[in-house]
Structure 1
């Protein structure tokens, strides 16, 4: 018991301080090595477009696998059983969608000095309405995503320290650290902290898996328990369940691939080769991360069979604290996991905040409010608005509105409506701005309305239904209206794929 209290109490606080100061140190060093980081949008928001394969891989990894993966998905697997196996294929789907548009998006970003996804849409469609609507939908999704990370941060700290550090105190401490090093080093700080947390997280998760098997029993024993007490969690999806799986594949596979912060990383790549190599390495991560987390949640049945929904949200923290008490090796491994989870959540949150600020500063303030503003002024405005948004979200996070899983799904229903404009617009020259705007707007309204009313006609999720309607309006309207010649020339890569970048 003494060892358990030591790990959950003072040791947990010291680990928090260590990781927090380490992330802050990364920001300080990055700032000192890059004196012009606050005077250039490319430097601050894209790391000077110089991220190599390893750093790019880990920053994509941190974006795709954050607090909701390690904490939220294990809790969901605990609650629903084998139906949550869908998490693995839909992470694979994300990689496939990335590969369908990322290389071409990178070339356009390099050629035209694109900083944000809204930059691309503005260049392609030359429509103020399309750009503003897309910016609003992206900002909503990013704010939702940031809220998810704040909730995960509080749950992670409270669970991994056994409640010694309160939920609210953990959130405030790490948000202060995140804002400080994000302000200092921009994208470079974010990418370097992603690398640090990725290594710690991978090592810690695999050690947690080993400890779970050794001390709580493997999958077979968990299956026996389910068969006796929760047989409904053993069944494979049939009928409506298969429809639900298909909905998730579409919603998550496409929606998560067009996260604005993920697209911004495409623009940050040093070259196309580094981008493709990072995606090749990411192809293994659904099995090594989501798959491992899924089995941890399933095997938790043996040790903690009767947790409530609220208690299950702290499942990983509870298991890590228990395993750490077994021997010194697992103690050290769970220290890595503790820091890795917290750093992963913070690293995802800082990338979301950075992209949120970039859309505010460049696409709203710089494009429509003060077009003559310098890059330094735009960055300054983005920072201020970002802090205000974090403060507002902290108020909501004080009393979380739902489980991490519910929060995660909600934002994708809106964000996925931007996907046709971003992806289809890359390849289809007949895309027309009026049909793009109408499809995006109607799709978002349908998704929001059906979500609010709790309607799922024929088992189709509101976000997927909105996407289907969105595509019909987009494609049908574009076929009727055609394309403006200037749009075709501006977004073409055929004439000068390797030419010098042009300023938007």
Structure 2
């Protein structure tokens, strides 16, 4: 692949992002928390669809899916179910949450916790969990930036340079324009990624004959990768589907996008569009992974996070036409990763500034002052995460498993909080403690599953049982 053209393309795109940041800064209506973190709750269905798409289909999906297919084989088509489940779970609570958020002017996830349960220590615990998850998620995106840029340019741009330069651009345009800049860039990022995926599909998998060749090769060389998963794996998959489906639907950045919708109609339309995205995006990534399997038989030491960047460089070197679509996809992929990073950082800074620092230290601070504090936290957080990302000690898949085990413990605060009048703040608080403690201790003891069921899901079950056991009639929590 012509790395010079690719580097110029990436540079031009980064300049475009900075320009959008300056434009969004000029279009802001105020320096309030609502305007900065929710774009004044003005996102229509088209913008909301692509900001959800660009955010949800991040490094975790784009890099992990082909890598896991190379590693595990055809059974990883099951990843398709994970992303479909997320949209289904959105629909179970998002419209109801949106309507409540508009009546009471929610900005952060913590606003819902305060409104429904009115227990400061519960809100603080839930927010601390969301901070841990968000820091984890942001770190995985920064690592992915380095892997993609380094792999796609054949090492001409080192890992550290990819991490530092892209992180700098993200923090600049986000600080300038907040959610408005993030949403505008997400539309461009989502369209680029979607177009690049479609083009790459026709390049790599032009007809059924190519798939047949790959299947025959796998039968002859790695038959274990085409076998039907055993029953234990099917239980494992169902467990992971529920954990990822529930967990990804309550990411703080996803919750704030629900708040930012222009209307409940816009929200429903965008979620309706999201239903088809897994069948396009994940299916194509699966086929790209299948086409990559024969290329990695003698590369056991290669990080699986580098599978897609390596293959994009290979495919782009085969013809000028392929080069064009490969470059479009690479830039789109970098864009999607940056999109997720900016969304996570925006939510993270809002939680720390408004729900933690604002309530503990600056209870009477104005909305404008909290916005400035949030921006300052964004710069500090990004600097710290970049320093950690430069010395990665864990794979992207490991980061996914860690955050999902604890994130799923937040689910009852939304589903039970919205649909069950019986649960009380006391029961919810104790349930959250039990679920979070169980999942965290088990993970760090390297116990990831029990009977092929993820400890995070078991923790969620314990969480819900504890919640109901300790809930009592409490009129204060029924609002």
User: Under TM normalisation by the shorter chain, which class is it?
Assistant: over 0.9
The alignment status of 1:487 with 2:456, answered yes or no, reads no
SS at 2:39 equivalent: helix
The alignment status of 1:15 with 2:5, answered yes or no, reads no
Query: C-alpha deviations, 1:18-56, integer Å up to 9, x for none?
Result: 1111111110111112252xx211100001100001100
Partner of 2:306 in structure 1?
314
Structure 2 Cα separation of the partners of residues 472 and 191 of structure 1: 39
The alignment status of 1:203 with 2:195, answered yes or no, reads yes
Partner of 2:164 in structure 1?
172
Alpha-carbon shift at residue 231 of structure 1 (Å): 1.6
Query: C-alpha deviations, 1:192-229, integer Å up to 9, x for none?
Result: 11100111111111222222225997322222222222
The alignment status of 1:464 with 2:454, answered yes or no, reads no
Partner of 1:32 in structure 2?
26
Match of 2:466 among 464, 473, 476: 473
Asked if the contact 1:222/1:300 (under 8 Å) is kept, the reply is: no
Partner of 2:138 in structure 1?
146
Structure 2: any 5+ residue segments left out of the alignment?
Answer: none
The 3 A distance-change label for structure 1 pair 35 and 98 is closer
After the TM superposition, which parts of structure 1 deviate over 6 Å for at least 4 consecutive aligned residues?
Answer: none
The 3 A distance-change label for structure 1 pair 217 and 146 is farther
Asked if the contact 1:221/1:302 (under 8 Å) is kept, the reply is: no
Partner of 1:500 in structure 2?
none
Asked if the contact 2:171/2:382 (under 8 Å) is kept, the reply is: no
Match of 1:338 among 315, 324, 330: 330
Partner of 2:361 in structure 1?
369
Alpha-carbon shift at residue 129 of structure 1 (Å): 1.1
Asked if the contact 2:149/2:162 (under 8 Å) is kept, the reply is: yes
Structure 2 Cα separation of the partners of residues 309 and 485 of structure 1: 59
Structure 1 Cα separation of the partners of residues 99 and 118 of structure 2: 19
Structure 1 Cα separation of the partners of residues 451 and 305 of structure 2: 31
**What is the alpha-carbon root mean square deviation over aligned residues?**
1.6
TM-score (norm 1): 0.92
Partner of 1:133 in structure 2?
125
Alpha-carbon shift at residue 70 of structure 1 (Å): 1.4
For structure 1, which segment, 174-183 or 404-413, has the greater mean C-alpha deviation from structure 2 after superposition? Answer: 404-413
Alpha-carbon shift at residue 188 of structure 1 (Å): 0.6
Partner of 1:496 in structure 2?
none
Structure 1 Cα separation of the partners of residues 353 and 302 of structure 2: 38
Alpha-carbon shift at residue 308 of structure 1 (Å): 2.8
Asked if the contact 1:215/1:323 (under 8 Å) is kept, the reply is: no
Structure 1 Cα separation of the partners of residues 15 and 202 of structure 2: 29
SS at 1:429 equivalent: coil
Structure 2 Cα separation of the partners of residues 185 and 346 of structure 1: 15
Asked if the contact 1:217/1:299 (under 8 Å) is kept, the reply is: no
SS at 1:373 equivalent: coil
The alignment of Structure 1 onto Structure 2 pairs a total of residues equal to 478
For structure 1, which segment, 455-464 or 335-344, has the greater mean C-alpha deviation from structure 2 after superposition? Answer: 455-464
Structure 2 Cα separation of the partners of residues 383 and 266 of structure 1: 22
The alignment status of 1:91 with 2:83, answered yes or no, reads yes
Structure 2 Cα separation of the partners of residues 119 and 236 of structure 1: 46
Alpha-carbon shift at residue 69 of structure 1 (Å): 1.3
For structure 1, which segment, 346-355 or 291-300, has the greater mean C-alpha deviation from structure 2 after superposition? Answer: 291-300
The 3 A distance-change label for structure 1 pair 217 and 80 is farther
Alpha-carbon shift at residue 367 of structure 1 (Å): 2.3
Alpha-carbon shift at residue 238 of structure 1 (Å): 2.1
Structure 2 Cα separation of the partners of residues 100 and 40 of structure 1: 30
TM-score (norm 2): 0.97
Structure 1 Cα separation of the partners of residues 135 and 208 of structure 2: 38
Asked if the contact 1:205/1:337 (under 8 Å) is kept, the reply is: yes
Query: C-alpha deviations, 1:122-176, integer Å up to 9, x for none?
Result: 1111101100000000000000000110111111101111110001101100111
Structure 1 Cα separation of the partners of residues 13 and 400 of structure 2: 26
The alignment status of 1:278 with 2:270, answered yes or no, reads yes
Alpha-carbon shift at residue 109 of structure 1 (Å): 0.5
Alpha-carbon shift at residue 183 of structure 1 (Å): 0.3
Structure 1 Cα separation of the partners of residues 319 and 217 of structure 2: 27
* 1:195-274 paired onto structure 2 within 5 Å: 195-214=187-206, 218-274=210-266
Partner of 1:425 in structure 2?
417
